[in-house]
Structure 1
Amino acid sequence: MTDTINDQNQAPDHALTPDQAAEQARREEELIQRVLDSFESTPDARLKELMQSLVKHLHAFIREVRLTEAEWDQAIEFLTAVGHITDDRRQEFVLLSDVLGASMQTIAVNNLAAGNATEATVFGPFFVDDAPEIQHGEDISGGAHGQPSWIEGTVTNIHGEPIDGARIEVWEADEDGFYDVQYDDQRVAGRAFLRSGADGEYAFWGLTPTPYPIPHDGPVGKMLEATNRSPVRAAHLHFMVTAPGYRTLVTHIFVEGDPQLQIGDSVFGVKDSLIKRFEEQPTGTPTPNGRDLDNQTWTKARFDIVLAEDTHPQA
C-alpha cells in the first residue's frame, strides 16, 4: 500500500471470450451470494444489514478494480501497520478515517440540517476526558506557547433562546502544531471546559490557531506521500458542546485568511460557516477582561453556537 505498485503487480488484462466472461462473472457473483447468505441468521437486524452491505460494497470494489493478490497483501500490511502504531495516545485508525473523508461523511449523515444550527465537523484524535474546568474569561492555554486569543460568543437554540449551563469543551494545538497529549511530560495544556451563563454567553482566552500537519510519520503519512497529498490541517480550534435536550455538537472554527484554506484541509473538515475572523489587536490594546498581556499582540474572535434539539433522546 505504501510502496509504488510496480508493473508485475498490475491486475491482469486478459481478453476473455464471451463464454469465459460469463463463467467468470457467475463464479464471482456466486461467491458474493454465499458470503451474504452466511449472515442470514444474524440475530441483530441492524448488524445483519451492516455486514451484508459491507460485503456487497467490498466485493464490488474488488471486482471493479480487478484487485491483484499482491495489492491485497499490501493493503493487509498497511492495516497491520496502522494497528501496530495505534496506542492509548495515538489513534492511527482515526487518522485513516479522517484522511479518507469517512469521518466527515459519517458526521454528515448523522447531523441532519436543522434550521440555523451550527454545523458539525470532525472530532479528531486528540480529545481526552477530564480536562480542567475554567470560569468565564479564564485561560485554557495552561502555559502552551502561542499568541493569546479572546474567544467569545453565545450558546442558543435554533429559536434564538439562550441555553444556560451548556458544557463547552475546547482544545487546540500550540503554536508549534502539537497537542498536549503529543508531549511525553503528561502536561495538560490547550484544553479545558467551561459553562455558558444565564444569557448563554461564554468567553475564554486561548491561542490563535495555526496550521499544523497531522501525525505523518506512520502508515497514514506514507499513504498521503504516495498520493501526493498534504498532511497539513487548516488552523482551527475544537469545540464540543452539550446540553440536556440538545444534540451534542462536535465542531471547530477556522481562521479567516489562513492560506491553508485555499490549499485544502487534510481531513476535509472545513465548512464556510465555521470560518471566523480572528482580528489582531495591536500591543497595548485593552483586553476585554483587563488581562495584562505584557505588550503582546492578541486576537479576538466571535463564535455564536446554535444547538439543534435532540430528536432521539436516550430513554
Structure 2
Amino acid sequence: MSLGLEAQQLRKTYGSRVAVDGVSLSLAPGQLLALLGPNGAGKSTTIGMVCGLTAPDAGSVAIGGHTLAQDRNAYQRRIGLVPQEIALFEDLPAQANVELFGALYGLSRAQQRERAAEVLARVGLLDRAGDKPSTFSGGMKRRLNIACALVHGPDVLLLDEPTAGVDPQSRNAIFDTLEGLKREGKALLYTTHYMEEAERLADAIVIVDHGRVVAQGTLTQLLAQLPAAQQLQIDLDGPPALPPLATLPGVKRVQAFDARLVLGVDDLEVAPAVLQALAAQGRRVKHLSSGRASLEDVFLHLTGRTLRDGASA
C-alpha cells in the first residue's frame, strides 16, 4: 500500500521575505490534496521543501513516518515530482527520457524498458514512444513529465501546476491519469490556481496566501464558511458606492475591485434591487453574471482578493 505524507510547520525565508510561514499538510493514500493560492503564495516553495529540493528553515516532512532528515535517498525514492517547468531532454525519444529517469532511481535496464512502456501507456503516449519531445505539443510534454515521475513507482506524487499551458484534450487526459492513480492508492499533492480543477479532483483542499494557510477542509466544508450561497458579479462604468448596497435585504457580502462589483446574496431575486440602487448612484451596468458560490468566493471572502491576484512566483 502507498504511504501518505505529513508536513509539519514548514517555514522558509529569503532574506527579509517570508515565503512559507508554518504550513502543515496531511495527505493519505488514495487522496488528492489540492494546494491552492495565487502566484507568489508559497505553493512552489512548499513543494520544494516537501520533495527535498529546498531546505526548510523550520518544520519537518515524513512519508509513512520516515522523515527526509533520517534518510534522504530512501525518502526521495518514495516521491515522484512533476515540476512547474517542463523538465525533459528534447532531443531524446520519449521512451529514452523515461528510461533515463528510471536509471537515476536505480532501475535495471530490463526494469527501465518495462516500466517505461507501462507509464507511457498510462499517460496515452505509448504510440509516440519513439518520437522526440521537441515534436510534442505542450500538453503532451506535460504528460511525458508525469510518466517520468511515475517510472520508479513512487508512493507520493507531487504535481506543481501540471496543467499550465495545456490544451483541453491533454488536460482531460491528465485528469483521467490522476483519478486512476488515486484509485490505486497513490497519494497526490497538487498545486494550482485553477478552481475548477480542485473542485473536480480534490478530496481535501488547503488554501494558502502570503505563505500561510488561510483555510483547509473538503469543498463542502470550505463553502460552508461563506455567508451566502449565491453570487452576483457586475461590471460597471465606474467604481460604486458600497454602503448603500450593503444594507439591501438579502445582501451578505459586498466587495469592489475598481469597477467590478461582487456581491454574496441569499437569493438571486435580490438582483433587481441591486440594479436599482446602482442606477440611483448613476452607475451604468456593462455586464452582469450570477452563479453558485465557489472556491474563488471562499478565497475572496477570506482575503479580500481573487486567487489570480498576486505577483508571479
Q: TM-score, normalised by structure 1?
A: 0.27
Higher relative contact order (CA 8 A, sep 6+): 2
Which has the higher Rg, Structure 1 or Structure 2? Answer: 1
More strand by share: 2
Q: TM-score, normalised by structure 2?
A: 0.27
